């Protein structure tokens, strides 16, 4: 198996089609899968000219340009149960998959994940404010599309070998990391806390049961994480109702849960800790702000915010675990996993993006001077700094 290793061997990059590369891994190898497959957003009509002109087996498959003219924006892999069956094979029992998708094509991917053997555990919403409607305006105030403001994330789990506790003991997987992903707050959280259990060995995070606390107790680590995440943008904050100033008086602590690497590369990103958001109900949900640094000089059109990828890695990966991203793009999962103290295996088919992944991961290990030089060199190669991180150019 040919792989490029980065960050003291903690992140491995494989070149090729993930359907081929995955065959080389043993059963029950990975602890989690965090991925962002192509959404295949360009319709069958646009791809092939008219309804029905594509061979039945090639619906959403390769053969015509997809999102932003990209040949890779197709569903032949992520909409196929056979692909997810292979992901199932290489994932440990109780291991979770978090997979992004588009609102129009989510159903195809979610069915394929389920048909591949997974149990669908949840659907998370990633909401953002920077989307533009791709609408064809019609006379009289009519159009053809709404403004995109969220993307679904499918949360699946490979079935357990028995109880959650037994699975945790055997494999370290099966539960999600509630405490590591709580939403920081200074407000009093009556009755929403939980008592730690001590499942797992040295390499396992402490997981938690659902035993409620007394009515006057406050959970020191924050609110129970919800299946809604947002980017903290003014549009999103305004879309949530105002519940009045919080009891904390709107103080921002800048607290962030999870491991922090105190290097220059991560210092410049916005913190994702407690923020009152002027009393907006947005404060009840995890805020993963995007930073310019997330792009790491890549021209990839669908770069995800590192804060968001870190939260997802942290949610479903046991301490010190190995995460897989079969559709790595510019490598945000690899960076996020490393920043959280995990190991990662990335697979990317396009050579152009593998160069971006290599640069991103090399920059993770750099000191401030080296980093400044690397970024200056990369931007002198006409990188499109103006590309948004997600939303309207996303898939």
Q: Which residues bind ligand SAM (CB under 6 A)?
A: 17-19, 36-38, 72, 77, 300, 302-304, 327, 329-330, 332, 347-350, 353
- Give residue 22's region: left, alpha or beta (phi > 0; psi -120 to 50): alpha
Q: In terms of CB distance, is 37 or 93 closer to ligand SAM?
A: 37
Taking CB atoms within 8 Å and a gap of at least 24, the contacts of 23-28 are 23/86, 25/90, 25/345, 26/90, 27/89, 27/90, 28/90, 28/91, 28/92, 28/93, 28/171
Pairing label, strands 208-212, 194-196: antiparallel
The nearest distance, CB 153 to ligand SAM, in angstroms, is 12
Query: In 234-281, which ranges are continuous DSSP H helix?
Result: 234-239, 264-267
- Report the nearest approach of ligand SAM to the CB of residue 390 (Å): 8
Joined together, the tokens standing for residue 70 give: 């990209």
Q: How far is CA 104 from CA 59, 145, 148, in A?
A: 15, 11, 11
Pairing assessment for the beta strands 30-35 and 11-15 based on DSSP bridges: unpaired
Least CB distance from residue 388 to ligand SAM, whole Å? 12
By C-beta, is 205 or 349 nearer to ligand SAM? 349
Shortest spacing between CB 394 and ligand SAM, in angstroms: 8
CB closest to ligand SAM, residue no: 329
Q: Rounded to the nearest whole angstrom, what is the least distance from the CB of residue 216 to ligand SAM in the complex?
A: 43
Residue 165 and residue 207: Cα distance in Å, rounded?
A: 10
Q: Give the angle subtended at the CA of 225 by the CAs of 224 and 228, to the nearest 5°.
A: 140
Under DSSP, the state recorded for 78 is: T
- The nearest distance, CB 372 to ligand SAM, in angstroms, is 22
| Residue (19 or 89) nearer to ligand SAM, CB | 19
| Triad 379, 354, 303: Cα angle to 5° | 65
CB of 46 to ligand SAM, least distance (A): 19
State how far the Cα of 238 lies from the Cα of 240, in Å rounded to an integer: 5
Q: Report the residue number, 56 or 351, with the smaller CB distance to ligand SAM.
A: 351
Return phi, psi of residue 76, to 5°: -65, -20
Cβ-based nearer residue to ligand SAM, 22 or 371: 22
- Minimum Å gap between C-beta 17 and ligand SAM is 4
Q: Which is nearer to ligand SAM, 255 or 299 (CB)?
A: 299
Give every CB contact of residue 19 below 8 A, 6+ residues apart in sequence: 77, 83, 86
Residue number with CB closer to ligand SAM (167 or 332) = 332
Which C-beta is closer to ligand SAM: that of 109 or that of 303?
303
Q: How far is the CB of 244 from ligand SAM (least distance, A)?
A: 37
For ligand SAM, the closer of residues 54 and 153 by Cβ is 153
Instruction: Strand 343-348: give its sheet, edge to edge.
Output: 4-6, 11-15, 343-348, 322-325, 30-35, 91-100, 150-157, 119-127, 228-230, 286-287
């Amino acid at each position: 198996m040919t792989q490029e290793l980065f960050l003291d061997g903690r992140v491995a990059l494989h070149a090729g089609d993930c359907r081929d590369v995955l065959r080389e891994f043993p059963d029950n190898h990975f602890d989690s899968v965090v991925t962002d497959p192509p959404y295949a957003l360009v319709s069958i009509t646009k791809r092939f000219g008219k309804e029905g002109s594509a061979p039945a087996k090639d619906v959403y498959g390769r053969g015509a340009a997809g999102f932003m003219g990209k040949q890779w924006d197709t569903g032949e892999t992520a909409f196929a149960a056979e692909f997810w069956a292979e992901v199932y094979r290489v994932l440990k029992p109780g291991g979770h998959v978090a997979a992004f998708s588009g609102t129009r094509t989510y159903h195809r991917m979610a069915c394929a994940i389920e048909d591949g053997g997974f149990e669908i555990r949840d659907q998370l919403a990633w909401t953002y404010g920077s989307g533009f409607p791709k609408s064809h305006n019609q006379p009289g105030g009519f159009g053809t599309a709404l403004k995109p403001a969220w993307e679904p994330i499918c949360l699946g789990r490979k079935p357990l070998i028995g109880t959650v506790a037994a699975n945790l003991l055997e494999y370290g997987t099966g539960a999600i990391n509630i405490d590591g992903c709580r939403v920081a707050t200074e407000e009093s959280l009556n009755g929403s806390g939980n008592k730690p259990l001590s499942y797992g060995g040295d390499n396992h995070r402490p997981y938690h049961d659902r035993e409620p606390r007394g009515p006057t107790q406050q959970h020191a680590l924050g609110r129970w994480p919800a299946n809604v995440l947002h980017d903290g943008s003014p549009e999103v904050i305004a879309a949530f109702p105002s519940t009045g100033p919080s009891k904390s008086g709107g103080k921002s602590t800048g607290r962030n849960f999870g491991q922090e690497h105190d290097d220059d590369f991560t210092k410049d990103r916005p913190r994702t800790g407690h923020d009152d958001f002027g009393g907006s109900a947005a404060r009840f949900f995890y805020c993963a702000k995007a930073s310019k640094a997330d792009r790491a000089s890549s021209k990839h059109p669908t770069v995800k915010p590192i804060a968001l990828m870190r939260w997802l890695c942290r949610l479903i990966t046991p301490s010190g675990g190995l995460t897989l991203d079969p559709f790595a793009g510019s490598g945000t999962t690899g960076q996020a996993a490393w920043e959280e103290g995990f190991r990662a295996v990335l697979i990317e088919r396009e050579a152009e993006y593998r160069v971006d992944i290599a640069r991103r991961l090399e920059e993770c290990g750099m000191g401030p001077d080296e980093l400044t030089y690397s970024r200056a060199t990369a931007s002198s190669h006409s990188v499109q700094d103006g590309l948004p991180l997600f939303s309207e150019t996303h898939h």
